[in-house]
Amino acid sequence: MTVHDHGPDGDHQRPAHVSEQTVEALGSLSKALETTERARGHLYSFHQLTGSADFELDRAVRLLRAAGHDAWADRVQREILGRNVIPGHWTFQIVEAYNATYYRPFGELEAEARQELADGRDHLYEATLKERRCTTGH
């Protein structure tokens, strides 16, 4: 017997008191949180790429000096190297603010909604889709 033949495992079965509309709403909330996870990953990429670029500026300054372009080396060092990416902030501060102000509260709210509305069960919407779309015998 396949998983499809007997429905989702116990952790992914919709409790009797939970409506399909609630499952769909929680699925939408979860999808929004997953999109936020991806955005957060891009924010970390931004943080790491900006840091890498800043460290590469050390090399650029060295090479400009070696090539006899001290004025340009000074300008890069003075105007760009170590510069705030937005007024008063380096990228790590943007990541910290995003995590504290948006990401963590969103995750906590989503978990609380699942707990209160679906007995804490996760991925009920996806489990329903799996059962509807699963290839017979697989």
Cα 70–Cα 71–Cα 75 angle in degrees, nearest 5: 115
Helices (H), the chain: 3-6, 20-66, 70-79, 91-98, 104-118, 124-133
Encode pLDDT of 20-62 as tens digits. Answer: 898 889 999 999 999 999 999 999 999 999 999 999 999 999 9
Q: Judge if pTM exceeds 0.85.
A: no
94-115 pLDDT, tens digit each:
999 999 999 999 999 999 999 9
Eight-class DSSP state of 8: S
- Asked if residue 2 has pLDDT above 50, the reply is no
Which of these, 105, 126, 111, lies nearest to 24 by C-alpha position? 126
Amino acid at 73: A
Domain positions in the chain are: 19-133
| Mean pLDDT rounded to a whole number for the chain | 88
Can you give the length of the chain in residues?
138
